[in-house]
Each structure stands twice: as structure tokens, then as C-alpha cells.
Chains A and B, each alone.
Chain A
Amino acid sequence: MPDNTLMAADAASSSVCREFTVLELRRTGPESGSPAHSPVGPDQSHWLLDLDLPAGFPGDAGWTPGQFVMLRPVSWSLELLWARPFSICMLENGILRLFFQVVGRGTRAMSALRPGDRVVAWGPLGQGFALEPETPTLLLAGGIGLAPFIGYARRHPQPETLRLFFGHRPEVAEYPLDLLPQEMPIEASRQTCAEELACFVDDLERRIKEYAARQGLILACGPHPFLRAVQGLAMKHRARTQLSLENRMACGVGACLGCVTETTNQTLPVKVCTQGPVFWAEDVHLGGEA
């Protein structure tokens, strides 16, 4: 990405801060399954949260897939301070839907929300994914990294030209793949041990190589090690690839400078919240931190 694109992305956004009402919160995956069934440990459940879109919040056309919102339940005490960032999974028909995984104190508290509860959210934030209707596009999702691709595929004018390759550790039933357009081919691959992970990376390389040869577009979202692997393979095969980064952030609006990442063409680290979260793979240094 050229230097000036990153700079332009830092301009003030058109996002707003509003109070939303929780319409529904439901756990995905097997209803009776104990969280202990997950090979990644207990209490890593997955949830779909539907919020009623308040007046003044950008609607269906006012966002780009890959953008995110910051969310903080009104009922939170000062013990939990920050809002949490979530990719916009869907924003349709007056409903903002988020797909999240319980990973820490904040998301655990969020999984206790009830219909009628109020949450403060601001957004849509950041820069979303490129959308090139005529270009064969490969979506690479790792686990909860599936979330933005649901919106991406649903908004895409020709979802049949998309292909999703999805790596996951919990059971596939934890993920709302039914929200994806039926025309889009999906390949899911579960990794529960090092051997399966090695096979997955081989598969990843084969697909990246194929799309590089077709002059395709590759979009990836998922855990840091997954993105590092995708970045390395994309560089190796000179594939046009965008990565959606997820960093710890306090404000989401470019003020705290807690979420920055180093880039190849900027002197100063760039802000993942406003200049990302989506970056071209060749532009960012992902570093060694998971």
C-alpha cells in the first residue's frame, strides 16, 4: 500500500457513539455441550449478540466489512474499564450482530448479557477489506476470525466467486457457518494437534499459491500466529493479500496508541484501530508476539 494511503486512513472518522439495546444473545454450538468439550480449554464458548440499531448509527450501507465497533455494557462497573473491539459480523435490517468468543474477563462478562440490557458502542471504526467483485477472492479465517467474513460474504455482489478456507480448533458446530451465503464454497479444517496443524499450513500454502497464480485477492483474519503464517506464505508466493490485525486497544479511535504496529514504509508505528485493522500483508511487521 502506498505511503499516502496509510496517512489518509488516519483522518477523522464518521463513526458515532450510541447506546444499543440487546435483542438476543445466544450461544453457538452444541446446546448440551459442556465447555470442557473444547480442546482449547474451558470457557471458550462462542456467542452471537444481536443489538437493536439506535437512531443515528450508520445502517446497512454505512459500513465496510472488516470494520469493527468498540462495545462496553452500561452495567459494567469501573472494575472493567475498557470497551472491547469486535468485528462487525452483520449489520442488516436495523440489527448489529457480533460474533465473539469468551477469552477473558470482558468477553466472559459479555456472555451474561440479557435481552433489554444496554450497551454503549461506537463505530463503525477502521478500514475494512478490499472488495473486488471481478477478482477471485480467497477468504482465510482462523477461529473467531470468521466473524468479519460473514458480513463480507453477505455483502459481496457475487459470493459464488468467493471461497472460504477455515481453520479451527473447537468443533465446527461452534461457528455459525449457516450465516454464510450458500453459493460460497467452504472448506473447514480442524486442528487439534501439531500434525494436523502442519497439514493445515501445507493446505494454506497450496491455496495461496493457487490464488497468487490466478492474480486473485486473499483476505485473512484470525489469531496472530495464523496471520504470521499467512503473511509469510503470501510474501513467498507474491500473493495480493490483506490481513486483519487484532491488537489490544483501549479507545478504538486513535488516541491511546496502545494498538500500534510497525510497518515497512512508515517511520512511526501505525494505529491498528484507525489505519487498520486491515493492512496489505507487505506493509506490516507482525513481530513475534502472539
Chain B
Amino acid sequence: MNLAVEMAGLRLKNPVLTASGTFGYGVEFAAYGDLTALGGIVVKGLSWEPRKGNPMPRVAETPCGMLNAIGLQNIGVHRFVEEKLPLLPWAEVPVIANLYACDVTDFARLGEYLAEQEGVAALEVNISCPNVQAGGILFGQDPEQAARVTRAVKDRAGTKPVIVKLSPNVTDITTVAKAAADGGADILALINTLSGMAVDVRSRRPRLANVIGGLSGPAIKPVGLRCVYQVSRAVDLPIIGLGGIASAEDVLEYILVGAWAVQIGTANFLRPDMAFRIAADLPGLLDELGVTSWGEFRGALRA
């Protein structure tokens, strides 16, 4: 079947994208697969100025998952545009810029600058990072703020689709999803990491210097599926599902509960060719299941 997906003007040759923070600036993975075989590349979260991130240690492995408190270390948006973007095959595969700022004004100018870049196909607004003091998840937990940030970026994004990435660390994710939709979001991406922690009983210390971090990996897939399922029924916007996807079957689980596309995150660390392998495995699995179109399969959960 034709694997292509089109949502809000964003054309993907297949629904397999990479998740921000797990695929670097894309170039790091060029040795391990054909970047143009992916549906899209979402790059490391970008801020206006470079950011140092949090102190070490800032990653810890947990059963079926990992905790991170990187704190959005990045080279800053200007170096990204000058040094990394030209190395990506953006004419053949959509490159989506994930952006982060501490206030609404900064979100707006960052969104405007990135939207002006020819090689950027869409903007993913990160209002759900649990690892930064200012901004981050605070925007994602308050529906009013979420709507304001979304509107600020949307107003400056021109024709580029605006994706809003949501946090599961809320009482009701559909409330924030609706707020982002009201703010003008074109697409929703969910879920970001779950807030968590890990402890070493020998040293009696937390395993992360930041104490608390974001949990990702297969451990959170049930939460991701639940959130996509709920939001797809509450909001009439295309959804990119993510959280714990490590196989083509996982991709189809997300599509069944209502996602239009997915992002591969922590699984990129199991092996660096993981996203490429999942994209390559999809056609065979769809054949095996007798699926002939996304329209027939998407959201077709027999609940």
C-alpha cells in the first residue's frame, strides 16, 4: 500500500519520524541509514541562545526505559541553521525544528526565524520538557499558557505547519490538547516524557543530578497509547504519536488508536539504525495484516 501521509500540508512518504532529543541534529545518524527513507526528522530542541543543559549524571537506565534530565543542551538556533541544516537532505525528507523558549515572546521570535528557513518543513513547539526550570512543562500544564504560546508561534509561522508537543504530566491531557487547538495548532504530538526518578540505595543518592527527570522508552508506551486514544476522540486535529515505539507493530498500535504518524525516540538508542528498520518493516507488516489504506486502519480500534 501507499505509505504516504499528508497532514496540515506536511507531506510524509511514510509515517515514521524521529523524536526530538533522540536523533541529534540528524547528521549523527547518516552513517546508519538513508535519512531520506524516513517520513521526517525532528531535530534536537533548539533555543535562541546555546544552552549548557543540566549537570551530570543526566541519564539513567531503568527497567524497559530510561530517565533523562539533559535540560535541553543545544548549540542554539543560529548554529543549527548555519552548520547542521545544510547537511540534511531537507529537499527529500521533511526536517521539523523543535523549539523551546522561556517566554512567549521568545517562542514567537524563534518560531518566526525557523519558519523563514527554507529547509525547515514544520515547527514543533515544545511546551512539555520536564527538565528545565523556566518555561518547558509549565506552559504545557496550563491550558491558557499553552494556547498563548501556540498562538504566538502560529502567528509568526507563515505557511509552515505548527505542531504542539504535549506532556502526559497533567490530570487531563485533552484539556491542554483543546487549548493548543484553540491556539491554532495544526498538528499535535504526544506524549513527551513522564516525570520520574531513580534512586541508588548504596550511595543513597538519586541517579540523576537533577533528582527528577523524564521517563521514556517501552515502559511508557501504554501511557502514550492511552493519551493518543483520548486526544484523538476529543480534538479534531492530526496526531503524531510517540512514547515507547520500538517496532513496526508498535507503530500500528499507535495508528489504530488514532495517530496519523509516529516518532521513534528512545529506541534509536537500542541501535542507531532502528528508525530506518522500523520504516522498512512497515510495508511487510501491513501486507501481513491485509491493510490497504491508512484511512481504513487509522483509529479503527475495536474498543
Report whether chain A binds chain B.
Answer: yes
Q: B204 in the interface, Cβ–Cβ < 8 Å? A: no
Task: State which residues 52-110 of A face B: CB under 8 Å.
Answer: 72, 78-83
In the bound complex, do residue B52 and residue A16 qualify as a contact, i.e. CB atoms below 8 Å apart? no
Which residues of A from 3 to 52 have beta carbons under 8 Å from B? 12-17
User: How far apart sit A267 and B76, CA to CA, in the bound complex (Å)?
Assistant: 12
The answer to whether A258 and B68 have CB atoms under 8 Å apart is yes
Contact of B52 among A83, A251, A254, A269 (CB under 8 A): A269
CB pair B218–A78 under 8 Å, yes or no, is: yes
**In the complex, which residues of chain B have a beta carbon less than 8 angstroms from the beta carbon of A249?**
59
Other-chain contact of B56, A78, A261, A267 (Cβ < 8 Å): A261
In the complex, what residues of B have CB within 8 A of residue A14's CB?
31
Residues in chain B near residue A248, CB distance under 8 A: 57, 59-60
Q: How far is the CA of A268 from the CA of B66 in the complex (A)?
A: 23
Which residues on B sit within 8 Å (CB–CB) of A251?
Answer: 22, 268-269, 272
How far, in whole Å, are A257 and B60 apart by their CA atoms in the complex?
12
Q: From residue 247 to 271 of chain A, which have CB atoms closer than 8 A to chain B?
A: 247-261, 267-269
Query: What is the bound-complex CA distance between A120 and B272, given in angstroms?
Result: 10
Q: Across the interface, do B273 and A260 meet the contact criterion of CB distance under 8 Å?
A: no
Contact call A81/B271, Cβ cutoff below 8 A: no
Interface residues in B, total, Cβ within 8 A: 40
Please determine whether B271 and A258 come into contact, CB atoms closer than 8 angstroms.
no
Residues of chain B lying within 8 A (CB to CB) of residue A267? 50, 52
Residues of the B chain whose Cβ atoms lie less than 8 Å from the Cβ of A80:
61
Q: Is B30 an interface residue (CB 8 A)?
A: yes
Contact partner of A17 (CB less than 8 A), chosen from B21, B58, B66, B273, is B273
Contact of A81 among B64, B87, B273 (CB under 8 A): B64
Q: Is B28 within 8 A of A253, CB to CB?
A: yes
- Determine if A122 is an interface residue (Cβ-Cβ < 8 Å): yes
Interface residues of B in 71-117 (CB under 8 A from A): 73, 75, 87
**How many residues of chain A have a CB within 8 Å of chain B?**
36
From DSSP, what is the main secondary structure of chain B's interface residues?
Answer: loop
Contacts of A82 in B (CB 8 A): 61, 66, 269-270
Contact of A81 with B32 in the complex, beta carbons under 8 Å: no
If over half of A's interface residues share one DSSP class (helix, strand or loop), that class is named, otherwise mixed; here it is loop
| Of A16, A254, A269, the contact of B32 (CB 8 Å cutoff) | A16
Given A268-B50, A268-B75, A254 contacting B56 (CB threshold 8 A): no
Report A-chain residues with C-beta under 8 Å of the C-beta of B66.
81-82, 250
Q: Are A83 and B31 in contact (CB under 8 A)?
A: no
Contacting residues, chain A, for B283 (C-beta < 8 A): none
Min C-beta distance of A118 to chain B, whole Å: 12
Q: Is the CB of B63 within 8 A of A79?
A: yes
In the complex, whether A287 has a CB less than 8 A from a CB of chain B is yes
Interface contact B59-A258, CB-CB below 8 Å: yes
**A255 touching B270, Cβ below 8 Å:** no
Contact assessment for B63 and A13 in the assembled complex, using a CB-CB cutoff below 8 Å: no
Chain A, residue nearest B218 (CB):
A78
CA distance A13 to B61 in the complex (A): 25
User: In the bound complex, how far is the Cα of B246 from the Cα of A78, in angstroms?
Assistant: 9
Chain B's closest residue to A104 (CB) is B61
Pair A122/B73 contact, Cβ less than 8 Å: no
Which B residues form the contact surface with A (CB < 8 A)? Answer: 21-24, 27-32, 44, 50-53, 56-61, 63-66, 68, 70, 73, 75, 87, 217-218, 246, 266, 268-273
Given A248-B60, A250-B266, 13 other A-B residues pairs in contact with their CB atoms under 8 A: A80-B61, A82-B270, A247-B56, A248-B59, A250-B269, A254-B28, A255-B22, A256-B269, A257-B73, A258-B58, A259-B59, A289-B56, A289-B57
17 chain-A/chain-B pairs, Cβ below 8 angstroms: A12-B27, A80-B61, A81-B65, A82-B270, A250-B61, A250-B269, A251-B272, A253-B28, A253-B32, A256-B59, A257-B44, A257-B70, A260-B73, A267-B50, A267-B52, A268-B50, A268-B75
